[in-house]
Structure 1
Amino acid sequence: MVYSQAKVIAGGLAHIPIVISVFYFIMISFNIRALEYAEANKSIKPKSNVLGSKTEAKPLMAVKAETEDVKETEVKEEKAQAIKGISNKLEEIEKKAEDVKEKVKKKQKDKKKKKKKKI
């Protein structure tokens, strides 16, 4: 039995979503396994057995707040350093631009002087 080109193309297009869904489910199953493996193999920090250690038990919310504050200050410091670096580069570029501007002015004056001498 011979099929027309239109039927063959329509059949192929109809099967594309089916093939995509099969590969999608395969991908999901592999991702779930990878996540479970990662969770199972997380390294657990060993507790130190220091004698006479006097540490205060802080509530979890306080610890989270402290870590967030530390992260925020680190981010602020990084931003400040980046801004300082950019401002230094900007100053260097401005100095170079001024030097180039002065050189161009000198060259233009020299050209005017040469033209006046020729006349």
Structure 2
Amino acid sequence: MKKFFFAVVLAVLPIIAIAADKSPNGVYRPSLSTNARSYLRDFPLNKVPADEIVQYVGAPDKSYSLSGKDYITYDIEPKGGKGIIEYTFVVKDGLVVEVTYLNSGNFFGVTQRESALALQKK
């Protein structure tokens, strides 16, 4: 019985650890294996404050302000260091109003740009 209980605890711990990496709004750090279109389509625009992004995604690789908006960018390191993959969170009045994805030809030389606003309007 002790072995069974121990096995159940070992099986449940990774699930709890993964769930703890998401905010109450479902914000988490994207990785190479993240499906960009799903991430952008499901992102809760106009609900997530900027500090929640920093808390759950981490310190940004780049950030700047322009025309009353803050841009917080995270680089996702592709294998072999080829190309650029980045997610940019656009913050206005303290809330994330847009998320963009850029994949600049890391594998086949094809650039892919996606926008949460565009995907959520479809």
- Structure with higher strand content: 2
- Range of TM-score over shorter length: under 0.3
- What TM-score do the two structures reach when normalised by structure 2? 0.23
- What TM-score do the two structures reach when normalised by structure 1? 0.24
- Structure with higher helix content: 1
